[in-house]
Amino acid sequence: MAPITNGRTLFNEIPTGFPEPGKTTVYDTSKTIDLENVPLNGGVLVKTLVLSADPYMRVQMREADIESYMPPFIVGQPIFSLGVGKILRSERDGFKPGGYVYGLLDHAEYSLPSPDVPVFGIRVFNPEPGLQYSAYVGAGGMPGQTSYYGWKEYANAKAGETVFVSGGAGPVGSLVIQLAKQDGLKVIASAGSDEKVQFCKDVGADVVFNYKTASTLDILRQEGPLNIYWDNVGGTTLDAAIENAANHARFLECGAISQYNSKDGVNMKNLDQIYARRITLYGFLISDLAPKWEEEFYKVIPKKLASGEFKFREDITTGLENSGQAIRDVQIGANTGKKVIVVAQE
Ligand code: NAP
């Protein structure tokens, strides 16, 4: 078989605000790959099926010498994210051709990903019967793990308590809502469109509001005080949650998407209430909690997703050439559910 084009999405330029497809990232078709003869050097050749577009990818669009929790994208090189692929050839024990892998993949149609990257190196998996493999980049993968690990480790939830979940309609927030309902809590959730508000209701939230059209402070004053706040957005929403916290509240600091594309305009007025109300803030990364909770997650959650006991929603972008737009959509809130880029069919 002759070499074929290997389409890739390259990092092109560090953005100053929101990432822009065609500028921040470019789609490149200049490389070919010989699938039968490319040397594996002890590794695995993978055909990419789906890729994830995640909020944290904006953090990777930075100067290469700045430290952060995920490695930077390198200008001129493919960007990478979690994904699912099919093994085409392998020289590595345990990776059989025809099997599925989940882990960090280049945004390329074909690649030789490493199993040796900590936490998110590729691993073989068998999709739960009845569960599509794309779910393994969403509720059945990293975002769902974030919800499960964080909730189990830090929420210390008691039936009858009140939790507020910002970013409630995304893969992280919507699973947190369902875990909290299972534990018997009253759940307040926020999201940025009426469609997303409806989804939060569909997964069981008791009080849901569109933070773009309703006042977060007013709702929390009415429906609080908060025993738990699951923070996906940071900024002034966090400040409003502090103002409405109960004494000894637990704040699960999962993300701060309101600040990933701009650091301007954040005016925190209530930080003194952290000590006054004896609030505990838990900043956490999924990578730290994985050794403790991963095995339990895979035993429990994929089954509940497959049976429909836990609901999830995907928002599909078709074609690797559109991955730059998919990444932007997540940052601006244009995604309705877990943003999945479908690169190829099996
Ligand atoms: P997601 O909901 O699929 O996408 C991000 C959503 O954030 C957007 O759809 C948008 O929805 C919302 N958003 C964007 N700008 C906002 C703003 N200025 N204010 C409020 N909301 C805004 O994301 P996800 O994958 O579930 O992730 C949710 C959060 O968890 C993110 O902050 C992410 O970084 C974090 N996270 C943390 C870890 C960890 O290890 N700590 C792991 C995974 C994810 P709206 O339409 O509702 O605005």
- Kindly report, residue by residue over 94-110, the tens digit of the pLDDT: 999 999 999 999 999 99
Cα 152 to middle of ligand 1, angstroms: 20
Query: Which single residue is written with the structure tokens 């103002």?
Result: 243
- Ligand 1 pocket, 85 CB below 6 A? no
3-class DSSP state for residue 274?
A: helix
Cα 9 to middle of ligand 1, angstroms: 23
**Tell me, what's the pLDDT at 215?**
98
Report the alpha-carbon angle 24-30-32, nearest 5. 125
User: What is d(CA 103, CA 299) in angstroms, rounded to the nearest whole number?
Assistant: 18
Cα 211 to middle of ligand 1, angstroms: 14
pLDDT, one tens digit per residue, over 234-246 is 999 999 999 999 9
**Tell me, what's the pLDDT at 281?**
98
Cα 256 to middle of ligand 1, angstroms: 7
Long-range Cβ contacts of 24-32 (<8 Å, 24+ apart): 24/61, 24/324, 25/79, 25/323, 25/324, 25/327, 26/324, 27/320, 27/321, 27/323, 27/324, 29/5, 31/5, 31/6, 32/3, 32/4, 32/5, 32/6
Cα 288 to middle of ligand 1, angstroms: 19
Closest Cα to residue 48, out of 82, 76, 10, 22? 82
Cα 176 to middle of ligand 1, angstroms: 13
- Cα separations (Å) of 182 from 6, 228, 314? 45, 15, 22
Query: Which single residue is written with the structure tokens 């930075």?
Result: 62
Helix-, strand-, coil-residue percentages of the chain, each rounded to 5: 30, 25, 45
**CB half-sphere exposure, 221, CA atoms < 13 A:** 5
Report the alpha-carbon angle 22-232-175, nearest 5. 105
- Ligand 1 pocket, 254 CB below 6 A? yes
Atom of ligand 1 nearest to the CA of 257: 32
Check: CB of residue 102 under 8 Å from CB of residue 127.
no
- The two beta strands, 32-33 and 4-5, are antiparallel
**For range 202-224, the mean pLDDT:** 98
- What is the percentage of the chain residues whose pLDDT exceeds 90? 97
Of the residues 59, 174, 233, 331, which should be mutated to test ligand 1's pocket, given the most ligand atoms within 8 Å of the CB?
A: 233
pLDDT band for position 343 (50/70/90)? very high
- Of all protein residues, the one whose alpha carbon is nearest to atom 36 of ligand 1 is 255
Which ranges of the chain does DSSP label H, i.e. alpha helix? 142-150, 171-182, 194-202, 216-223, 235-243, 273-276, 286-307, 323-332
Cα 232 to middle of ligand 1, angstroms: 5
The alpha carbon torsion through 137, 143, 149, 153 (nearest 10 deg) reads 180
- Ligand 1 pocket, 249 CB below 6 A? no
pLDDT, one tens digit per residue, over 164-195 is 999 999 999 999 999 999 999 999 999 999 99
Cα 336 to middle of ligand 1, angstroms: 11
Check: CB of residue 246 under 8 Å from CB of residue 227.
yes
116: Cβ contacts below 8 Å, ≥ 6 apart: none
**Tell me, what's the pLDDT at 87?**
98
| Radius of gyration from C-alpha coordinates of the chain | 21
- Ligand 1 pocket, 138 CB below 6 A? no
pLDDT band for position 1 (50/70/90)? confident
Atom of ligand 1 nearest to the CA of 190: 47
3-class DSSP state for residue 5?
A: strand
What backbone torsions phi and psi does residue 240 show, to the nearest 5 degrees?
-65, -35
| Size of the chain, expressed as the number of residues it contains | 346
pLDDT band for position 37 (50/70/90)? very high
pLDDT, one tens digit per residue, over 46-65 is 999 999 999 999 999 999 99
Atom of ligand 1 nearest to the CA of 338: 3
Cα 192 to middle of ligand 1, angstroms: 11
**Tell me, what's the pLDDT at 51?**
98
- Of all protein residues, the one whose alpha carbon is nearest to atom 9 of ligand 1 is 333
Tell me the two tokens of residue 95.
Answer: 């990776």
**Tell me, what's the pLDDT at 264?**
76
Of the residues 232, 316, 340, which should be mutated to test ligand 1's pocket, given the most ligand atoms within 8 Å of the CB?
A: 232
Closest Cα to residue 163, out of 244, 236, 284, 233? 244
Atom of ligand 1 nearest to the CA of 54: 25
pTM, entire model? 0.97
User: What is d(CA 209, CA 205) in angstroms, rounded to the nearest whole number?
Assistant: 10
- Ligand 1 pocket, 340 CB below 6 A? no
